[in-house]
């Protein structure tokens, strides 16, 4: 856009019998006439402008040719003149979007002077207009460029009995508070030791007790199908002082896909002539014609079409031409879906045409950027987790087995690219209790084998279940020969059969577990102020300081685990049995339980219940505990029972909560006079002082932000240094108190009677901003990526293959914005030197920034001589180029700050230069790894792709599975302090041992763009407390004052999103296709997955099964997923055909939650209260009520997140504290604080206590004005 102002003057001169028209640009003829009046007319020929703008719908000549001063313009219809006169007026020419050739276009102006009754006189003035700059190319950059990928997995399980965890004579870690113990020295077969692969057996005695067997469960995930996409934006900037027409913009991937972006101005723009620009692919009110013909080229030498007379044209799709104002920019967003997995890094290129009709393009594309899919920047795994459950079968021993295996335990595969990280193997123990009670079918003098098997079922989230059976284990029990005939055994039979006849049998059970976790939390506190040194002149408005009190709760330390349980002993016999001890056991270790006093005899039918609470030294791992009961004759065992810490209770925790106080001490300077009583005032957001006794209590880390107002001061005797000291105190529950202190210094000035000329009253120092320079810094960042081709390799055992690693060393151009200049300090007092403690410059742009100025060799701390000046320089680098203001400040030794006036700056005419911190070159290297040749290094100054060949030979020893071959590459940008980048790229090679199964038929799956709504829910709390005891007591004629604190708070918003949409399913052939599972996986961008069923209409169960009719008869299914995170994410359909092992191929559909509509609950709340005194006798309202002592409790709507109000009530007195007649008796006070959040549920909190008013009859009569009875005291 070009704007120019042209001046035109018509001069009319009359003499006796002569009329002359003249112009500064032309010599008019002199005409002699007989009349003393004439008509002067003036007209422009704007036909050249009409021709120039042919084809524009709404951009006529009147838009670019305007009378700027119409009051003095000569109308085309003419004006009568009767004397010498001069008509001067101006024309404003601007908003040109079409360039001319080098000769420009001529606009003629004809002035006509027609004397009354005479001959017209005409003169012509010509304004030649040359419009250039249309061929200046725009600046292009990519923004927010991201690669997206989704990967589906299938699962396989392998469970093995790895060893017998029970060793003869070996120390056992039993997990109880007793620590280490020795297991019994039982005899084991040789097969007991080592791996039990393929099944095994071992032998134990009948009195072995707890016999553990260890299992190893490995869940392995294999990647199957996936989907991929690229998203981002092209940033287009117009760097010239004229508007630019963007006629065509296409983004192309090296894989062949193209997309037309949607553009909108980065910020609204108003041109100098008042036009407003903005909107998506709109460009305000300007519309340009379609493109036809061929394009001009801007490359190494700029060529193009001069004017608009040459036809141009190439079909450009649906891109609506876009107008960029001068120095403005636009963001053009796009999303490209890929039809198959990229085999290497992709290159993305923008193609642009600009100018009227799109006549200019770039001959050589200067902007290319690569997108890496190794790994994708946004990765969403599907069916990446599996829930495992172990089930054991042990025949007659089943009831004596404590299974420590997984119970709905979830494990997941991790990573964003192959090779993915498989979940760690689960190692767990199954404990079998072997004693005569659990093996009653074992014949004395012989041995019996008990087979044990267990199987694991894995439930895949969104997929089909898988199973695995562990190695079979046989436990052979040696049963000793009976020394004497024995009675039939029953559960709980003693382990000493020889003495069984001396006592009745006891049944022992252990259980009713409750686990506890204890920990310690340390708290820390910091306190900061946004400005801790301020200056305030007499009469100046108050200044505000913002404090941030940060309370931090540390991580849990010194964790302890406890198990509480009960042991129940029943006597099925007919006589009481004396018990010596009751113990909880783990293997052969035992800890005595606590039994009721005097209860060590178990009567028939009356159970003995003992409790225990033991320390568990195996962390949060599950375990099993048994029980043993000793009598004088024998010992009885209860089968082991399992426990875990899934629902553990917090117990014995130190520092779970903390109380927060904040105390303020304000000190005025000694000798100051006229100091206001309250020269500082904090708002209600600060915690209470310790003397108040009612702290703010928190369970988590949080910030308390509040402000304090300092001043104003009016008295000339109040100058000096004031100090405000805040001490924050955090008192953890059962922990160590911590404090933080912050002192703010306020310098009150302006009390001197003599001020220095031209200098503010703070002192003799003055500061001015002399010059401001701006520059746009161009530089580079370096990126490194690598990919293996192919992405994975499948070879038969012993077979050879080849692959290659493609390493991309990428140089990415970027831009920052630099502001620099000078400030000058002046000491206006010629008699006194001034010590300068600091010189700073505040850059108030799109983002505020402050930098230190450098004052020659002195830095920014020095002595400035009387009457001297000092020039200082500054420089600040900004990420945004929106312009702003510069403020220079100087601080002297007393802390007095003097600031300059605002000096504006912008980047419209900024210099362009290279950044010294953005390196142009880098050192690139490829290293050995396991497949590459020797390391190769080279210095590169442009993007470069290096291909490393690799030869792969599969192992010949029959090993099957996945093997990783590794390549390493490095990149060192050549700039001081630049970090080295390295990438390790793995090539997974699958060694096969059998033929693969045929793939099942898969449906066609298409997902529409999702709809998103963000739910924003606030939770409110209310708390009303007082310093009154639970029973308030006072006498008639007395008054009691009670302090209250009414605290309301609003938690940070809990935000989640609701994502809904449709998915179209279609069979691949004419035959119907059964779908066993139909769901969508919704990813919130941070890795969280929510699975939602697809509802495919009547007759179909949500989530499947669904039957699809033949090809050509698609089915539209809907979904609705709530509780999704609020980050931008994607939806991936997960549709599994009957008989298929993996979902059908589907592409993820991105969505944006950041711009979604919101449903807000509880952002505001209405506060109400009730303060009521009632009679305890009948519950009715009392005849007297407490009165507010000063400020009452306020009510109303709160949208600021909570408040703390402190108020007091007089009991037995009026608002002034004067005692009032109060009937004696018993009363109950109830204070209620109520909050009604917007669209939410009400929150209520009460403060209650009783009040007893004692009778004092004489005093009461006196208060009532009655005479005392004679003779009574």
Q: Reply yes or no on whether the pLDDT at 270 is more than 80.
A: no
pLDDT band at 891 (very low <50, low <70, confident <90, very high): confident
Write a three-state SS string for 234-266. EEEECCCCCCEEEEEEEEEECCCCEECCEEEEC
Cα separation, 61 vs 93, whole angstroms:
10
How many Cα neighbours within 13 Å face the side chain of 1060? 7
pLDDT grade for 1119, boundaries at 50, 70 and 90 = very high
On whether both 1097 and 1148 belong to a single domain, the answer is yes
pLDDT bin (cut points 50, 70, 90) of residue 1086 is low
Given a cut of 80, is residue 372 above it in pLDDT?
A: yes
Q: Report which of residues 1107 and 321 the model is more confident about.
A: 1107
Domain assignment present for residue 636? The answer is no
- State the pLDDT confidence band at 1251, using cuts at 50, 70 and 90: very high
Arithmetic mean of pLDDT, 1014-1023: 88
Query: For the whole model, what pTM was predicted?
Result: 0.40
Write a three-state SS string for 345-385: CEEEEEEEEECHHHCEEECCCCCCEEECCCCCCEEEEECCE
Q: Are 156 and 222 in contact (CB under 8 A)?
A: yes
31-40 per-position pLDDT tens digit: 334 456 888 8
Q: How many domains does the chain fold into?
A: 6
Strands in 421-579 per DSSP E: 426-434, 447-460, 466-469, 473-478, 507-520, 523-529, 533-537, 543-553, 557-570, 577-578
Q: What average pLDDT score do residues 522-532 get?
A: 90
Cβ proximity of 394 and 450 under 8 Å? yes
Whether the predicted pLDDT of 1267 surpasses 70: no
More confident residue, 379 or 570: 570
pLDDT digits (tens, 9 = 90+) for 209-256: 767 778 888 999 998 888 888 999 888 888 776 777 787 888 888 888
* More confident position, 199 or 748: 748
Helices (H), 148-246: none
How far apart CA 722 and CA 748 sit, in angstroms, is 8
**Cα atoms in the 13 Å half-sphere on the side-chain side of 923:** 10
- Together in a domain, 741 and 766: no
Rounded mean pLDDT of 1207-1222?
Answer: 89
User: 421 and 381 in contact (C-beta within 8 Å)?
Assistant: no
Q: What are phi and psi of 1257, to 5 degrees?
A: -60, -45
- Please give the Cα distance from 749 to 759 (Å, whole number): 13
Query: In terms of domains, do 811 and 929 share one?
Result: yes
The span from the CA of 1104 to the CA of 753, in Å, is 90
Average pLDDT over residues 256-274: 73
On whether both 1137 and 1241 belong to a single domain, the answer is: no
What pLDDT is recorded for position 995? 43
Which carries the bigger pLDDT value, residue 1209 or residue 489? 1209
- CB contact at 8 A, 922 and 782: yes
* Range 525-548 average pLDDT: 84
pLDDT tens, 932-970?
444 567 888 888 888 888 777 665 544 566 665 667 777
Element (H, E) at 394: none
Q: Which two tokens mark 1064?
A: 């179209």
Q: What is residue 1100's predicted lDDT score, i.e. its pLDDT?
A: 85
Backbone angles phi, psi at 328, to 5 degrees: -100, 170
Partnered with residue 787 across adjacent β-strands are 806
pLDDT digits (tens, 9 = 90+) for 489-508: 334 444 433 333 345 678 99
Do 123 and 239 lie in one domain? The reply is no
Q: In b/e form, how buried is each residue of 1136-1173, taking b as 16+ CB within 10 angstroms? A: bbeebebbbbbbbbbbebeebeeeebbbbbebebebeb
Cα separation, 1050 vs 497, whole angstroms: 69
Same domain, residue pair 840 and 742: no
Q: Rounded distance, CA 1053 to CA 330, Å?
A: 33
Residues 6+ apart with CB under 8 A from 485: none
Q: Is residue 1147 part of a domain?
A: yes
Structural domain including 858 reads 758-996
In the 3-class helix/strand/coil scheme, how is 1033-1099 assigned residue by residue?
A: EEECCCCEEEEEEEEEEECCCEEEEEEEEEEEEECCCCCCEEEEEEEEEEECCCCCEEEEECECCCC
In a domain, 175, yes or no: no
Nearest-CA neighbor of 810 among 927, 936, 973? 973
Q: What is the residue-wise DSSP string for 578-618?
A: E-SEEEEEETTEEEEPB--TT--EE-TT--EEEEEEEE--S
**How does the average pLDDT of the chain come out, rounded?**
76
User: Which of 322, 354, 379 finishes a domain?
Assistant: 379
Angle at 180 between CA 179 and CA 181, to 5 degrees: 125
% of the chain beyond a pLDDT of 90? 12
Lowest mean pLDDT among 315-319, 912-916, 1035-1039: 315-319
Is residue 600 in a domain? Answer: no
> Domain end: 95, 129, 163, which one?
129
Write down how long the chain is. Answer: 1273
Asked if pLDDT for residue 984 goes beyond 70, the answer is: no
- 783 and 699 in a single domain? The answer is no
Q: What pLDDT score was predicted for residue 145?
A: 87
Least confident of 92-106, 514-528, 897-911, 981-995: 981-995
Task: Give every CB contact of residue 977 below 8 A, 6+ residues apart in sequence.
Answer: none
Same domain, 285 and 337: yes
The pLDDT value given to residue 873? 92
pLDDT at residue 381 tops 70: yes
Share of the chain above pLDDT 70, in %: 78
> Average pLDDT of 1226-1232?
93
Highest mean pLDDT among 74-78, 275-279, 1048-1052: 1048-1052
pLDDT of 527 above 90: yes
**Per-residue pLDDT, 403:** 79
Dist CA 743 CA 749 (whole Å): 19
In whole angstroms, give the CA distance from residue 271 to residue 293: 31
Residue 86 scores a pLDDT above 90: no
For residue 1001, count other CB atoms closer than 10 A to its CB: 15
Q: What angle do CA 710, 714, 720 make, to 5 degrees?
A: 65
pLDDT band of 7, cuts 50, 70, 90: low
Task: Please check the confidence at residue 319 and state whether its pLDDT lies above 90.
Answer: no
pLDDT given for residue 66 in this prediction: 67
Q: Cα separation of 777 and 32, whole Å?
A: 68
Lookup: tokens for 1144: 């059908």
Q: Are strands 209-237 and 139-163 parallel, antiparallel or unpaired?
A: antiparallel
Element (H, E) at 191: none
Cβ contacts of 55 within 8 Å, gap of 6 or more: 288, 289, 308, 356, 357
Let me know: does 325 contact 283? Beta carbons within 8 Å: no
Q: Which residues contact 279 (CB under 8 A, 6 or more apart)?
A: 264, 265
Domain of residue 1224, CATH code: 2.60.40.3880
Residue 188 has which token pair?
A: 């084991």
Element (DSSP H or E) covering residue 1260: helix 1257-1264
Query: Is there a single domain that holds both residue 270 and residue 343?
Result: yes
- 850 and 703, same structural domain? no
Kindly report, residue by residue over 436-491, the tens digit of the pLDDT: 878 888 888 888 888 888 889 998 876 778 888 887 888 888 888 765 443 333 34
Q: What is the mean pLDDT of residues 1137-1152?
A: 79
Helix (H) or strand (E) holding 687: none
pLDDT in tens, 290-300: 333 222 222 22
- Collapsing DSSP states into helix, strand and coil, what is residue 1249? strand
pLDDT at residue number 97: 63
pLDDT band for position 1066 (cuts 50, 70, 90): very high
Q: Is residue 935 part of a domain?
A: yes
- Which pLDDT band holds residue 901 (cuts at 50, 70, 90)? confident
Give the pLDDT score at 525: 93
Residue 1102 within a domain: yes
Which pair of structure tokens corresponds to residue 2? 């070009």
Domain-located, residue 453: no
Q: How many Cβ atoms from other residues are within 10 Å of residue 134's Cβ?
A: 24
Residue 1028: pLDDT band with limits 50, 70, 90: confident
Same domain, yes or no: 942 and 1039: no
- Quickly count: other Cβ atoms within 10 Å of residue 1250's Cβ: 15
CB neighbourhood size of 937 (10 A): 11
Alpha-carbon distance 1106 to 1114, whole Å? Answer: 12
- Looking at the predicted structure, is the pLDDT value of residue 318 above 50? no
pLDDT of residue 212: 76
Residue 1127: CA atoms inside 13 Å, Cβ hemisphere, count? 11
Mean pLDDT over residues 1193-1199, rounded? 80
Residue 345: inside a domain: yes
Q: How far is CA 354 from the centre of its chain?
A: 39
The first and second tokens of residue 817, run together, are 């914005």
In the listed set 1122, 1155, 1188, which residue is the last one of a domain according to the structure? 1155
Q: What is the pLDDT of residues 820-853, one digit of tens each?
A: 999 999 998 888 888 888 888 888 765 567 788 8
User: Average pLDDT, stretch 354-360?
Assistant: 71
Looking at residue 848, what is its pLDDT? Answer: 62
Query: Could you identify the residue written with the tokens 């199954």?
Result: 430
State whether 683 and 765 are in the same domain: no
């Amino acid at each position: 856009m070009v704007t120019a102002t042209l001046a035109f003057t018509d001069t009319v001169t009359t003499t006796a019998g002569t009329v002359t028209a003249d112009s500064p640009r032309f010599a008019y003829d002199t005409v002699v006439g007989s009349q003393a009046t004439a008509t002067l007319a003036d007209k422009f020929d704007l036909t050249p402008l009409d021709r120039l703008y042919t084809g524009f719908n709404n951009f006529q000549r009147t838009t670019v040719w305007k009378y700027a001063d119409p009051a003095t313009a000569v109308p085309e219809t003419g004006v009568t003149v009767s004397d010498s006169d001069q008509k001067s007026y101006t024309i404003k020419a601007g908003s040109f979007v079409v360039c001319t050739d080098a000769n420009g276009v001529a606009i003629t102006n004809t002035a006509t002077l027609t004397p009354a009754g005479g001959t017209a006189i005409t003169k012509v003035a010509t304004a030649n207009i040359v419009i250039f700059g249309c061929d200046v190319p725009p600046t292009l950059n990519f923004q927010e460029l991201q690669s997206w990928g989704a990967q589906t997995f299938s699962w396989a399980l392998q469970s093995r009995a790895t060893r017998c965890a029970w060793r003869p004579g070996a120390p056992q870690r039993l997990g109880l508070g007793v620590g280490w113990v020795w297991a019994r020295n039982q005899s084991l077969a040789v097969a007991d030791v080592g791996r039990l692969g393929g099944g095994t057996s071992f032998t134990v005695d009948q009195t072995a007790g707890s016999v553990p067997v260890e299992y190893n469960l490995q869940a392995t995930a294999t990647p199957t199908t996936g989907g991929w996409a690229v998203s981002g934006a092209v940033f287009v900037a117009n760097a010239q002082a004229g508007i630019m027409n963007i006629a065509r913009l296409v983004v192309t991937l090296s894989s062949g896909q193209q997309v037309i972006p949607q553009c909108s101005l980065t910020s609204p723009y108003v041109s100098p002539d008042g036009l407003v620009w903005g909107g998506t692919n709109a460009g305000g009110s300007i519309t340009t014609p379609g493109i036809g013909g061929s394009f001009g080229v801007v490359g190494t030498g700029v060529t193009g079409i001069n004017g608009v007379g040459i036809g141009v044209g190439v079909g450009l799709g649906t891109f609506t031409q876009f107008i960029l104002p001068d120095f403005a920019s636009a963001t053009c967003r796009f999303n490209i879906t890929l039809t198959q997995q990229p085999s290497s890094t992709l290159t993305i290129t923008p193609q642009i045409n600009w100018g009227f009709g799109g006549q200019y393009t770039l001959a050589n594309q200067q902007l290319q950027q690569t997108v890496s899919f190794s790994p994708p920047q946004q990765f969403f795994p599907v069916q990446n987790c599996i829930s495992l459950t172990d089930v054991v079968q042990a025949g007659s021993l089943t009831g004596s087995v404590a299974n420590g295996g997984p119970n709905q335990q979830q494990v997941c595969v991790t990573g964003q690219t192959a090779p993915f990280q498989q979940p760690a193997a689960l190692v767990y123990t199954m404990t079998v209790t072997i004693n005569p009670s659990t093996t009653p079918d074992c014949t004395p003098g012989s041995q019996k084998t008990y087979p044990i098997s267990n199987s694991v079922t894995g439930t895949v989230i969104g997929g089909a279940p898988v199973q695995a059976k562990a190695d079979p284990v046989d436990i052979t029990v040696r049963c000793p020969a009976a020394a004497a005939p024995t009675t039939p055994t029953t559960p709980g039979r003693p382990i000493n059969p020889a003495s069984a006849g001396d006592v009745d049998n006891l049944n022992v059970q252990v259980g009713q577990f409750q686990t506890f976790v204890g920990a310690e939390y340390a708290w820390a506190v910091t306190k900061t102020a946004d400005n801790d040194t301020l200056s305030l002149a007499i009469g100046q408005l108050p200044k505000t300081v913002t404090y941030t009190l940060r309370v931090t709760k540390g991580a849990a330390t010194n964790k302890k685990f406890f198990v509480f349980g009960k042991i129940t002993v029943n006597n099925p016999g007919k006589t009481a049995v004396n018990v010596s001890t009751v113990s909880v056991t783990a293997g052969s270790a035992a800890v005595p339980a606590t039994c009721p006093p005097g209860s060590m005899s178990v009567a028939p039918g009356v159970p003995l219940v003992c409790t225990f609470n033991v320390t568990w030294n195996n962390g949060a791992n599950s375990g099993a505990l048994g029980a043993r009961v000793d009598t004088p004759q024998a010992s009885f065992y209860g089968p082991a029972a399992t426990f875990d810490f899934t629902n553990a209770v917090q117990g014995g925790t130190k520092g779970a909560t903390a109380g927060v106080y904040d105390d303020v001490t304000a000190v005025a300077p000694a000798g100051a006079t006229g100091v206001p009583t309250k020269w500082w005032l904090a708002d209600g957001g600060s915690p209470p002082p310790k003397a108040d006794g009612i702290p703010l209590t928190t369970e988590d880390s949080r910030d308390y932000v509040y402000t304090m107002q300092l001043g104003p001061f009016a008295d000339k005797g109040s100058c000096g240094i004031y100090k405000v000291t805040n001490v924050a105190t955090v008192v953890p529950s059962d922990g160590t108190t911590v404090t933080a202190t912050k002192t703010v210094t306020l310098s009150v000035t302006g009390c001197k009677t003599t001020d220095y000329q031209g200098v503010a009253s703070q002192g003799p120092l003055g500061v001015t901003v002399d010059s401001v320079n701006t520059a746009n810094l161009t530089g580079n960042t370096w990126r490194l990526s690598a990919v293996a081709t192919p992405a994975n390799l499948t070879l038969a055992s012993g077979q050879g293959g080849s692959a290659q690693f493609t390493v991309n060393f990428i140089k990415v151009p970027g831009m920052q914005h630099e502001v620099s200049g000078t400030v000058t300090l002046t000491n206006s007092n010629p008699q006194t030197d001034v010590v300068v403690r600091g010189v700073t410059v505040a850059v108030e742009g799109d983002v505020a920034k402050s930098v230190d100025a450098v004052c020659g060799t002195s830095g920014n701390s020095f002595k400035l001589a009387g009457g001297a000046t000092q020039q200082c320089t500054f420089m600040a680098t900004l990420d945004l180029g929106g312009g702003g203001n510069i403020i220079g400040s100087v601080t002297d030794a007393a802390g007095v700050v003097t600031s300059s006036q605002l000096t504006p700056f912008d980047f419209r005419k900024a210099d362009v230069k290279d950044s010294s911190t953005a390196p142009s070159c880098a050192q690139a290297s490829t290293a050995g790894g396991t497949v590459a040749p020797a390391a190769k290094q080279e210095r590169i100054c442009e993007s470069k792709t290096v291909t490393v060949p690799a030869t792969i030979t599969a192992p010949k020893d029959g090993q099957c599975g996945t093997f990783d071959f590794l390549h390493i590459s490095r990149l060192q940008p050549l700039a001081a302090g630049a970090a080295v980048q390295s990438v390790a790229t793995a090539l997974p090679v699958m060694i096969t041992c059998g033929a693969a199964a045929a793939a099942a038929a898969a449906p066609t799956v298409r997902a529409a763009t999702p709809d998103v709504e963000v739910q924003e829910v606030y939770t409110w709390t209310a708390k009303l407390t007082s310093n009154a005891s639970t029973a308030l007591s006072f006498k008639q004629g007395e008054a009691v004052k009670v302090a209250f604190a009414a605290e309301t708070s609003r938690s940070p918003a809990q935000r989640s999103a609701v994502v809904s949409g449709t998915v179209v399913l279609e069979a691949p052939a004419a035959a119907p296709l059964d779908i066993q599972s139909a769901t969508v996986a919704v990813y919130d961008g941070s890795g969280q997955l929510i699975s939602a069923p697809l509802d495919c209409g009547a007759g179909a169960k949500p989530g499947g099964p669904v039957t699809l009719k033949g090809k050509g008869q698609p089915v539209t299914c809907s979904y609705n997923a709530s509780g999704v995170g609020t980050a931008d994410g994607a939806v991936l359909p997960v549709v599994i055909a009957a008989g298929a092992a993996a979902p059908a191929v589907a592409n993820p559909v991105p969505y944006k939650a950041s711009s979604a509509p919101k449903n807000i609950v509880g952002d505001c709340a209405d506060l109400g209260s009730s303060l009521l005194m009632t009679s305890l006798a009948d519950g009715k309202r009392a005849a007297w009520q407490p009165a507010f002592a000063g400020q009452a409790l306020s009510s109303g709507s709160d949208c600021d997140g909570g408040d703390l109000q402190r108020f007091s009530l007089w009991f037995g007195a009026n608002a002034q504290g004067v005692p009032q007649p109060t009937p004696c008796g018993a009363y109950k006070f109830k204070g209620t604080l109520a909050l009604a959040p917007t669209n939410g549920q009400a929150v209520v909190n009460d403060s209650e206590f009783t009040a007893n008013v004692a009778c004092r009859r004489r005093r009461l009569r006196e208060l009532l004005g009655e005479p005392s009875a004679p003779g009574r005291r």
